[in-house]
Every structure is written in C-alpha cells, then in structure tokens.
C-alpha cells in the first residue's frame, strides 16, 4: 500500500501485493475444504426487498440502474423492492440461496463463500467500500445441532492460525445468555439493551449506564447489573460461576450459559489461547439468536473485528420450514490491508515466473519455446524473451521483473542456466533441470515484527 487508491474506499493491489492476497485466499480455501465445506458463489446483485427484508439495517447499500435505460428506472431504486442492489454481506444472499435451492442441497449444508461485497460507507483505515469476505456457514433443515457452533469457531481458529498474521482472539458471547439475564433483572427491551451495550467500547460504561436509564427506563441497579455482566471476560469456563454470582435466574440465561460453556470448553482444549468468553460482545442489530463472535488481532485492536458472525435461527425460512444456521465471516481485505501496510508478510518474488529463456538470435524463438514447454511440463513457470537483445539486457530484464533464473542455449544447442541472484551459471538439461522447492513456486511467508 505504497499508493493511494485512485477511488477512495476501493483498494487495488500491485502484483506482488496480490500474491499475498492470493496466499491468504488459497490458505482459507484449503482449510475450509479440508473441513468439508463446499464452495458456492451467489450473484453480486440482490433485490432491494431481499436486502432490506429484515427491516432497518445499518449498512449503506448501493442501488443499480442501467445508464442507457430511457424509462428511467433510476428513481425506482429507492422505493421498488424489485429494484437491484449490490449485496453488503454474504449471509443474507446465502440465506436466499438456501431457500431457493433447498430441494437440491443435502442438509446440514456446509459451504464457504469468498466474494466481494459493497457498502457505501465513509472509507477509513480498515473500512473499504468494496472488500472481500470469506464466510463459512452450516445450515440445517428444521434444526441444527448446537455442536456446529463449536465446530465453526474451531475451523475459523485453525484457518486464521494458518495465515501470516499476528496472534488473534475470538471473543465469544451468546445472545440467549445476555437476553435471559436482562429479562431476569426485569429489562424486557433486550434489543434496546444490546444496542446500548454494543457502544461500550466507544463511549465507556458511564455513558452506557446513562443510555440504559434515559432511553430504556432502567433503574440504577439494573444498569449496573447489565454492565457487570458485560464486564465478564474469561479464557476458560469460569465465566459461568461469575455470572451465577450475580444472582440472576432465568431459563434462557441457563441455556445461553450452557451453550457458551460448550464452545469455550472445546476451544480451551482444541484451540488453546485463541478464544475468550467475552460477555460484552453484542453485534449491533443483525439477525443473531445465540452464539455471537468478534475477533481482534492482538496489538491491532483498533483495526476492528477481522472475523465476526454467529448463530441465526430465523434468517431463512420457506413457509413453515426453517433453516437455522451458524457462520463466521473473515474480513479478507481488512486483513490483507493490514498485512501490507505493516509489512507482516512478503512474497519471495514479485512474479510467478521462475525462468526466463533468453534468445541468442531472433529466429531461435521457436527453439526457446520448446525449452520453455519442457520446463512447464514439470510445473516450472517459464517465459521466453521477445527479442534477442544483448544477454546483459535480457538478464537485466529478468532482474527487473524479479525472475530468479535465466536460461541460455548457444548456437551448438548447449544449455546453461544462471541463477542471477548468485551469478552461478551451470550446464542444464531442459528435460530434467528443476529449481529448488523454494524457487519453484512463489512463497509467501510472515515477517517477524522488528
């Protein structure tokens, strides 16, 4: 990110930066597929009615209109639920896809989805208008065992752990736990309480207490109890005892405590140090009904959550048929922006090419292509010079492009290959020569912070 995007909020990478992004995407894909998640993509475009059907959302949506449409359906976008708009996340489109294709899917259906989404928000560090998300979800038909909440958290911890990023923490809470607790202390507008608690990191506990009292009519005791709950944060299941010590009893609260305990218990064992129970996590509006997750990069907390999501039991339905789901979404662009701006990882070279086949005369291009074909047959990325310039110039060309090896064939058909980093040049047979494993493909590796 040496450069500034020419359109604010729409980042683009240079080729060597894109190699880092590709490494991130390939690593995520590989981890998700190893856990049996199928790839799908949904169209970038949804109807406005579909995007807004859960009522008010806090995402800025981009509407579409055909420039050459003389009927002027531009005005339509704001009012007509059939007008088209770009999706702002991958969960809402996925829920629509599941309902539409339910007859063709085997449930519980596990999928990953890696695509761009768009939000017309004010751009800032970590917040773009066009960005890539990588989601995994499991959706059931009618019911979905809670175990999948545990599994999704573990898969994401494994996926993030395989990336060249700093240490991270999944901060996990449960809406049933919070809602049950609020009800238990007599606060029935649980959505209102969650909205206030969600502001805790931004405005602090005093102002949240004020909000709870003025806007929701909470007493001082109720406000303090809600804040005490939100203050609980443990790396093991000791949050259960801490909540119980607050002396509130409610059935939904018990259900939530049990669910969150299951997640944390498994995580302590299977992803030690990566997961905390954090009872301040609320996740704003949105469609979550149980487990909720946000994720911070340790030392980069101000970047915001790099992976969020949770359990949604009512997002997708078809008549009486319900499709409860649980999923998490990784903010790929946010992560890659941070990797690049802080030099957290680097590609071993800037192009896929391992070998440039030099020309010693313009009419040897065909023979040079024959050499290249043999090398490519063994998976060695190879390009051929376009002109028979002086060898020094051809070597310089390779150097400028970041290609490590240059191949020479003399007039007698003798082959040599030069490692232009060391200057070492050796005889080589196009039918057998292979570079070291490190040089065969581009390697992307994490760089330790200085």
Q: Which of residues 47-106 bind a copy of itself (CB under 8 A)?
A: 47-48, 60-69, 74-75, 77-78, 84-86, 96-97, 100-101, 104-106
CB of 429 to a copy of itself, least distance (A): 19
- Is 379 or 446 the residue whose CB approaches a copy of itself more closely? 379
Q: Which of residues 334-353 bind a copy of itself (CB under 8 A)?
A: 350-353
* Shortest separation between residue 74's beta carbon and a copy of itself, angstroms: 5
State in angstroms the smallest separation of the CB of 29 from a copy of itself: 9
384 binds a copy of itself (CB under 8 A): yes
Tell me how far, at minimum, the Cβ of 304 lies from a copy of itself, in Å. Answer: 21
> How far is it, in rounded angstroms, from Cα 300 to Cα 125?
12
Rounded to whole angstroms, the Cα distance separating 90 from 44 reads 9
Q: Which is nearer to a copy of itself, 233 or 376 (CB)?
A: 376
Question: Given the complex with a copy of itself, which of 339 and 384 has the nearer CB atom?
Answer: 384
CB-based contacts of 113, cutoff 8 Å, min separation 6: 39, 40, 41, 42, 90, 94, 133, 134, 135, 137
| CA nearest to 23, candidates 383, 399, 335 | 335
225/403 with CB nearer a copy of itself: 403
- Residue 36 beta carbon to a copy of itself: minimum distance, rounded to whole angstroms: 4
- List strands edge to edge, sheet with 382-384: 382-384, 355-357, 405-409, 415-419, 425-427
Peptide bond into 402 cis (omega under 30): no
> Would you say 120 or 166 has its CB closer to a copy of itself?
120
* Beta strands per DSSP E along 201-351: 233-234, 275-278, 291-297, 307-312, 317-318, 321-322, 325-331, 345-347
- The answer to whether 376 and 341 have CB atoms below 8 angstroms apart is no
Give the number of residues in contact with a copy of itself, rule: CB under 8 A. Answer: 88
169 binds a copy of itself (CB under 8 A): no
Judged by CB under 8 A, the chain residues 266 through 295 that form the site for a copy of itself are: 266, 269-270
Binding to a copy of itself, residues 207-266 (CB under 8 A): 266
Assess 153 for contact with a copy of itself (CB under 8 A): no
Q: How far is the CB of 343 from a copy of itself (least distance, A)?
A: 16
What is the C-alpha to C-alpha distance for residues 257 and 177, in angstroms, rounded to an integer? Answer: 6
Single residue of 383, 430, 439, 444 touching a copy of itself by CB under 8 A = 383
Biggest CA–CA distance in the chain, Å, is 94
- The least CB distance from residue 10 to a copy of itself, in Å, is 4
Q: Which of 1, 102, 246, 381 binds a copy of itself (CB under 8 A)?
A: 381
Q: How many CB atoms lie within 10 A of CB 18?
A: 15
What's the CA gap between 68 and 78, in Å, rounded?
Answer: 19
The C-alpha atoms of residue 278 and residue 168 are separated, in whole angstroms, by 14
- List 161, 166, 402, 435, residue binding a copy of itself (CB under 8 A): 402
Nearest approach, Cβ of residue 96 and a copy of itself (Å)? 8
Dist. CA 171–CA 307, nearest whole Å: 10
Rule CB under 8 A: choose which of 122, 318, 321, 387 binds a copy of itself: 387
């Amino acid at each position: 990110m040496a450069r500034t995007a020419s359109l604010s909020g729409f980042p683009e990478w240079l080729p060597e930066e894109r190699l880092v992004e590709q490494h991130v995407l390939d690593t995520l894909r590989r981890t998700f597929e190893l856990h049996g998640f199928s790839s799908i993509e949904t169209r970038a475009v949804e109807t406005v009615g579909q995007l807004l059907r859960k009522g008010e959302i806090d995402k800025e949506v981009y509407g579409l209109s055909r420039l050459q449409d003389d009927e002027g359906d531009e005005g339509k976008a704001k009012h007509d639920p059939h007008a088209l708009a770009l999706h702002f996340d991958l969960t809402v489109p996925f829920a629509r896809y599941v309902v539409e294709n339910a007859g063709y899917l085997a449930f519980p259906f596990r999928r990953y989805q890696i695509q761009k989404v768009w939000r017309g928000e004010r751009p800032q560090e970590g917040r773009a208008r066009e960005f890539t998300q990588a989601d995994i979800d499991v959706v059931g038909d009618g019911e979905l065992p809670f175990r999948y909440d545990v599994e999704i958290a573990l898969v994401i911890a494994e996926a993030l752990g395989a990336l060249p990023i700093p240490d991270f923490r999944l901060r996990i809470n449960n809406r049933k736990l919070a809602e049950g607790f609020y009800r238990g202390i007599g606060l029935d507008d649980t959505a209102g309480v969650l909205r206030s608690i969600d502001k805790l990191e931004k405005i602090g506990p005093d102002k949240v207490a004020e909000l709870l009292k003025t806007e929701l009519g909470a007493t001082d005791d109720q406000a303090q109890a809600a804040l005490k709950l939100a203050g609980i944060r443990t790396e093991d299941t000791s949050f259960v005892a801490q909540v119980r010590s607050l002396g509130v009893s409610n059935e939904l609260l018990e259900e939530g405590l049990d669910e969150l305990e299951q997640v944390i218990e498994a995580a302590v064992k299977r992803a030690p140090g990566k997961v905390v129970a954090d009872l301040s996590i609320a996740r704003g509006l949105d469609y979550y009904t149980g487990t909720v997750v946000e994720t911070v990069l340790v030392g980069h907390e101000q970047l915001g959550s790099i992976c969020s999501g949770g359990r949604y039991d009512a997002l997708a339905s078809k008549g009486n048929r319900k499709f409860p789901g649980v999923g998490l979404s990784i903010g790929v662009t946010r992560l890659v922006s941070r990797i690049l701006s802080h030099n957290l990882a680097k590609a071993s070279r800037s192009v896929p090419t391992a070998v440039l086949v030099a020309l010693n005369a313009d009419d040897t291009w065909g023979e040079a292509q024959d050499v290249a074909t043999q090398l490519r047959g063994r998976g060695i990325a190879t390009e051929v010079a376009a002109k028979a310039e002086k060898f020094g110039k051809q070597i310089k060309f390779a150097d400028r492009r970041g290609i490590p090896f240059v191949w020479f064939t003399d007039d007698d058909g003798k082959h040599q290959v030069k490692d232009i980093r060391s200057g070492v040049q050796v005889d080589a047979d196009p039918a057998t020569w292979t570079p070291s494993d490190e040089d065969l493909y581009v390697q992307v590796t994490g760089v330790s912070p200085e």
